[in-house]
Chain A
Amino acid sequence: MVAVRETFSDRLFLFACYTFLTIMAFLAVFPLLYVVSVSITPFEEVLRHGGFVVVPRKVTLEAYAQFLSRTTIPRAYLVTTYITIAGTAINLFLTTLLAYPLSRKSLPGRGALLIFVILPMVFTGGIIPTYIVVRSYGLLNTYWAMMLPWAIWTFNAVVMKTFFEQIEQSLLDAATIDGAGEFTVLWRIVLPLSLPVLSTVGLFYGVNHWNEFFQAIMYISDPDMLPLQPVLRNILIGAESPTVDSVDVTLPADTLKMAAVVLTALPILMVYPFLQKHFTKGVLLGSVKG
């Protein structure tokens, strides 16, 4: 940059930018802080202030203790953890098996195959036919129903394929001449070189499983098999009473609701700062032409 003296209007403009960003950052964080604050507010504070306040004078972790001592949320945690790990493994396995052959330009029928996978992106069967099909496979009330119907996102497969195509072709050729089969080439050469795209695509799949809601309410009617999000929704709309089976109510119902929100959001919020870079890369990977 050429050193040019900043004028008053430039300073004003910069000040406006900083102010705008500060407000946006505040708006992003403040609601979460309020949720946390409500989740640790005991009844006496509500009575004292005539409602919830942003900074309570007394706090309690009773709401969290109640949830963690009951089975609903810990069980939902287990279900969500399971479908996140197993589901993402299935996603990556199948997406790789699709993307790698598609990345080989010499593969006969490659063009037809691309159309075959892209067509259902343009014209979808819709909610009801998908439900009927999943039901006919006998997958209702199984964890498979939350992992298989979206096992491959075509978009992710295209992102992965584009990445594979950028790997030096001579590396693959050299391995082939040395007698390595395609599976060996994929496992020993392509995948180790593709860790960036695998982690980015894996993260998107993973977050999606962690936030699983729709397939759960469509396919799962057994309450013990519900993952976190639908359980949280039931708690929020009052379908599932958040308080312990009666006796003494020591906490405001809203305190319990907000504790449930925090418990559901916490894992994502804790890993997010470390993974943010990968996510951002993913958006831009997608905008690169495949």
Chain B
Amino acid sequence: MSFAIKDRTAFGSAGTVGARVWKHRALYLMLLPPILYYLMFRYAPLYGTTIAFKDFKVRSGILGSEWADPLFVHFSQFFRSPYFAQLLRNTLLISLYKLIWGMPFSILLAVAISEIGSKPFKRIAQTVTYMPHFLSWVIVYGITYALLSESMGLVNHVIRASTGTTVNFLSEPRFFRGIIVGSEIWRDVGWGAIIYLAAISGIDPTLYEAARIDGASRTQMVFRITLPSIATVIVVLLTLRMGRILEAGFEQVYVFYNVRVYSVGDIIDTWVFRTGLEQWSFSLASAVGLFKSAIGMILILTVNAFAKRWGHSVW
């Protein structure tokens, strides 16, 4: 062990903190650039959140801007605005729908892949279903456009052929959330299956052999062995996802939405982005962002406490 070696170093009183720090000076030197990075790009924005309590002016900077009067004026403005309920509802609904629809598909995919015997088929199914995960949201939007747009959408082509009219899927509020959830599943169903597959491959094979001898059918084995064995993994993943329930998919929504679907598609992040960077209401946008960060922190700490109890943790 390194302790034994350290005690034999030339620094006599190896136990003192100073000597131990000196011995590791090269490691601290290595840490300088990363620490500088964290201070500049992670901690400075934390300090920057104070503008939520100020009337921020670009020219005065964070420090020079006047404190808001009253201090929480930007928060109360947001809570009293009609946006508050709408943004919260859109964010939670989109997030929940993704969870509720996405997880079963991934589990189903993992079970199906693990059940089939043909190795090449397995490999091809995995390679092909993981692939969309690596496409950017802009590309996924392009693909969605190819299927659903009025001008060239394949779906509209079929609808036009049978009814003579077209449906503007991409700009109609009643379709928007479905498109967001659907495209998310299309992109990430395979990726989400990887972790369940790993859990399934960790199941003791003798369980299946014993069940076989007892005359269990494949269907019974899935319901009596496979699913119960990965139940913990499912619950832990579900819990951890709940911790990020306010993350409805900023980039995806931003790429997919337009003014006509704001009522159902505008989420906290997109609103903050527009309010801050397009309307230059920095303080109001920061207040809303801070509100989201605070709730997010409480959620993550809570679910992590639960997950830890089950032997897992976010970090």
Contact = CB atoms under 8 A, between A and B. Distances in A.
Contacts, number: 295
Contacts of B293: 123-126
B90 interface: no
Interface string B174-193: 00000000000010011100
B10 interface: no
Interface in A122-149: 122-134, 136-137, 148-149
A20 B41 contact: no
Interface residues of B, number: 110
A133 B41 contact: yes
A13 B219 contact: yes
Q: Which of B124, B194, B313 has the most CB of A within 10 A?
A: B194
Nearest to B114: A17
A101 B28 contact: yes
A290 interface: yes
The secondary-structure label for the interface of chain A is helix
A166 interface: no
Nearest to B39: A116
Interface stretch (B80-88, B95-103, B138-146): B138-146
B186 A268 contact: no
Contacts of A34: 146-147, 154
A125 B49 contact: yes
B42 A125 contact: yes
B173 interface: no
A142 B185 CA distance: 35
A126 B49 contact: yes
A32 B297 CA distance: 39
A229 B138 contact: yes
Interface in B113-154: 113, 115-117, 121, 124-132, 134-139, 141-143, 145-147, 149, 151-152, 154
Given A35-B146, A132-B62, A261-B143, A126 B27 contact: no
B17 A1 contact: no
A20 B255 contact: no
A273 B151 CA distance: 33
A59 to B, nearest CB: 16
Contacts of A122: 297, 300-301
A114 B3 CA distance: 21
A290 B315 contact: yes
A171 to B, nearest CB: 12
B213 A2 contact: yes
Interface in A183-213: 183, 186, 207, 210-211, 213
Interface stretch (A64-72, A81-89, A174-182, A243-251): A174-182
A47 interface: no
Given A1-B209, A125-B49, A28 B30 contact: no
B292 A126 contact: yes
A253 B44 CA distance: 45
B277 A218 contact: yes
Contacts of A157: 34
B27 A101 contact: yes
A99 B46 CA distance: 23
Contacts of A10: 217-219
A190 to B, nearest CB: 12
A107 B26 CA distance: 11
B139 A261 contact: yes
7 contacts: A4-B213, A20-B108, A25-B128, A97-B33, A122-B301, A124-B46, A254-B146
Interface of B: 1-3, 5-6, 17, 20-21, 24, 26-28, 30-31, 33-35, 37-38, 40-49, 51, 56, 61-62, 108-109, 111-113, 115-117, 121, 124-132, 134-139, 141-143, 145-147, 149, 151-152, 154, 157, 160, 186, 189-191, 194-195, 198, 205, 208-209, 212-213, 215, 217-219, 222, 250-251, 254-255, 269, 272-273, 276-277, 282, 285-286, 289-290, 292-294, 296-297, 300-301, 312-313, 315
Given A38-B146, A127-B289, A229-B139, 15 more contacts: A25-B125, A98-B34, A101-B28, A106-B24, A121-B315, A124-B293, A125-B44, A130-B41, A213-B137, A230-B138, A232-B138, A252-B152, A276-B127, A279-B130, A289-B313
